[in-house]
């Protein structure tokens, strides 16, 4: 491969990073912010599954900004302040991988919650509670912090912040295994398992529309998110497996450049997971669309309701306050 082709690949990779990061930042910020507003509304925050969706949206926002924003700034040659590159590299890597992994495990927890809520066993259904979801989120957060804290040891950068990479081959392999297990393989397997069991419960459980319509809508939303996660996380899983298989192979400069080019695309496929939930919920869930409309048009509805109230009050006053003719007639009768 000629040097001109390598330069072209580098240019394409740079432009892709710049503009794809911008698209994901805009769409992800809007979507996740609206998710947070919707899942904290009074009609949904009493549902334990909504708490998991809320936690997922917050984790997505953190992962999105520390993954895409920092990469986008680098394409404009904007780096960290001098002598802060070491800390910046470690913090950026940790705050990219940990929230990304947390987001996937919150979806797993939501799958377990839907499985519990659809069970015929009272004991199992007792796990589908808001207080249980809050404790689960805290537990997942603490465990993942311990798992990914190795980033502060295994990653390092130069003082200018222009590079950020594993400090050794062992760290590189360990990080690859960690990402593969705690993001690429284990969460999708758990999602599939509990998702399948939830579907079986829903299919064989008697339908009570008055009680279960909201729970069923949340289950549909979760299934859509699980399917999307499975699709978008598959490329990075394949890439990580390939990286492990070819770890000890001697690679040319051209091959390394091509692999880095492909790696950039699969990374952004994973980052896309942090931006799509709001739009898929809007397309697939009438409940979510209803809450979104209520959120967006709340002020207008308030203004519309003021006029009828004022008219009603005026009518009441007219009926209760006697007219002038009635007052004169009352004086004559007296």
Strand positions, DSSP E, 65-197? 155-157, 164-166
Q: Are residues 181 and 326 in the same domain?
A: no
**Residue 257's pLDDT band (cuts 50, 70, 90):** confident
Q: Are residues 213 and 110 in the same domain?
A: yes
pLDDT in tens, 33-80: 999 999 999 888 889 999 999 999 999 999 999 988 888 887 777 766
* Number of domains within the chain: 2
Residues 178 and 322 in one domain: no
* Structure tokens, 161: 């912040």
CB 76 within 8 A of CB 118: no
pLDDT at 314: 53
What is the 3-state composition of the chain as percent helix, strand, coil, each rounded to the nearest 5?
80, 0, 15
Q: Which domain holds residue 152?
A: 3-296
Q: What is the pLDDT of residues 183-220, one digit of tens each?
A: 989 999 999 999 888 878 777 665 555 446 788 888 88
Per-residue pLDDT, 2: 58
Asked if residue 145 and residue 20 are part of one domain, the reply reads yes
Distance CA 19, CA 171 (A): 31
Mean pLDDT of 163-168: 82
Supply the CATH number for residue 222's domain.
1.20.1070.10
């Amino acid at each position: 491969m000629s040097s001109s082709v390598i330069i072209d690949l580098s240019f394409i990779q740079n432009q892709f990073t710049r503009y794809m990061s911008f698209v994901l930042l805009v769409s992800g910020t809007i979507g996740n912010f609206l998710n947070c507003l919707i899942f904290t509304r009074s009609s949904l925050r009493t549902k334990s599954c909504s708490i998991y969706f809320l936690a997922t949206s917050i984790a997505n926002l953190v992962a999105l900004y520390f993954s895409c924003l920092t990469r986008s700034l680098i394409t404009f040659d904007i780096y960290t302040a001098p002598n802060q590159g070491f800390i910046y590299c470690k913090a950026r890597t940790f705050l990219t991988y940990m929230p990304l992994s947390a987001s996937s495990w919150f979806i797993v927890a939501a799958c377990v919650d839907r499985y519990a809520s659809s069970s015929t066993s009272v004991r199992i259904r007792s796990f589908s509670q808001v207080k249980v979801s809050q404790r689960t989120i805290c537990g997942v957060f603490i465990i993942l912090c311990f798992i990914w804290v190795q980033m502060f040891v295994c990653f390092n950068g130069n003082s200018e912040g222009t590079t950020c990479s594993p400090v050794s081959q062992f760290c590189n392999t360990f990080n690859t295994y960690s990402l593969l297990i705690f993001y690429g393989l284990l969460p999708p397997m758990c999602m599939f398992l509990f998702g399948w069991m939830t579907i079986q419960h829903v299919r064989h459980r008697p339908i009570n529309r008055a009680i279960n319509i909201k729970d069923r809508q949340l289950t549909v939303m979760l299934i859509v998110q699980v399917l999307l996660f499975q699709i978008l996380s598959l490329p990075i899983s394949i890439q990580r497996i390939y990286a492990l298989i070819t770890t000890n192979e001697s690679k040319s400069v051209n091959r390394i450049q091509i692999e880095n080019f492909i790696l950039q695309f699969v990374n952004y496929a994973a980052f896309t997971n942090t931006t799509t939930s709001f739009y898929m919920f809007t397309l697939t869930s009438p409940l979510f669309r209803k809450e979104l409309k209520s959120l967006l048009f709340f002020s207008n509805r308030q203004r519309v309701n003021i006029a009828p109230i004022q008219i009603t009050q005026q009518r009441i006053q007219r009926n209760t306050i006697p007219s002038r003719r009635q007052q004169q007639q009352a004086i004559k009768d007296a």
